Amino acid sequence: MPGKTRSTAVATTAPAQPRTPKPRADALRNRERIVTAAREMFVEFGPDVPLDEVARRAGVGNATLYRNFPDRAALVHEVVLAVTSRTTDRAEEATAEEADPFAALTRFVHAAADERIGALCPMLSGGFDKDHPELLAERRRLEEAVEGLVARAMSAGRLRTDIAVGDVLVALSQLTRPLPGIACPNIDRFTHRHIQLFLDGLEAPARSVLPGTAATLEDLRRRA
């Protein structure tokens, strides 16, 4: 069921709240522009970009940004949510549209790179709540989707069996992680190569014995 992209975060707690009269069209557009600008700039310059710059790129005043996201953590939260959601969409698409299980995994991995999943890494640093329920839910949705891809590929005997979804997602994130201040087009030239090499290493039969133990996404959260 692909394409089930999350809607705005604040909107949906109770649908029948008379005190939030009307989310005014342009206000929503502003909010969206801010998130988009933030995602781009976090990718390009790291998660420490001056928020005033984000506001400028979004074409709004800085105070508008702060009205929508009370502090940097809130904005990071939203961007993480958005990237996770879009990545999950890619996983679901790959699941739905690729017949071959390993081809599905491969397609997802490269698509996730294009979604800048690597940008999540540096964003997880700062003091923002990685255990926020909303985030947890989204992460679980992602994990489930990728879990499906992994399980199917394993069942088909195409994937080595000593790895888990956490391994895929962490390595993938690291390999696609942007270098702050570096224009992205250039780095892409290499990342898809490296992702592919990594995929080749994931393929069955295993060519080595891996140290440590396979990782889930929750392991990752606990790492912090």
Q: Which residues bind DNA (CB under 7 A)?
A: 21, 23-24, 26-27, 30, 48-52, 60-64, 66-68, 70-72
Which one of a copy of itself, DNA, none is in contact with 19 (Cβ closer than 5 to 8 A by kind)? none
Of residues 135 through 164, those in contact with a copy of itself by CB under 8 A are: 163
The helix, strand and coil proportions of the chain, stated in percent and rounded to the nearest 5, come to: 65, 0, 35
Which of 57, 67, 130, 192 touches a copy of itself by CB under 8 A? 192
Nearer CB in complex with DNA: 101/178: 178
When CB distances are held under 5 to 8 angstroms depending on the partner's kind, the choice from a copy of itself, DNA, none that residue 60 binds is DNA
CB 84 within 8 A of CB 120: yes
The entry of a copy of itself, DNA, none near residue 51 (CB within 5 to 8 angstroms by kind) is DNA
Long-range contacts of 128-133 (CB under 8 A, 24+ apart): 128/72, 128/73, 128/74, 128/76, 128/77, 129/73, 129/77, 130/221, 130/224, 131/221, 132/77
Q: Is 207 in the site for a copy of itself (CB under 8 A)?
A: yes
Half-sphere exposure of 191 (CA within 13 A, CB side): 24
How far apart are the C-alpha atoms of 142 and 149, rounded to whole Å?
A: 11
Smaller CB separation from DNA, 71 or 97: 71
- Bond from prior residue into 205 cis (ω within 30 degrees of 0): yes
Contact residues for a copy of itself, defined by CB under 8 A: 46, 48, 121-122, 124-126, 163, 166-167, 170-171, 174-175, 177, 179-182, 186-187, 189-190, 192-194, 196-203, 206-208, 210-212, 215, 223-224
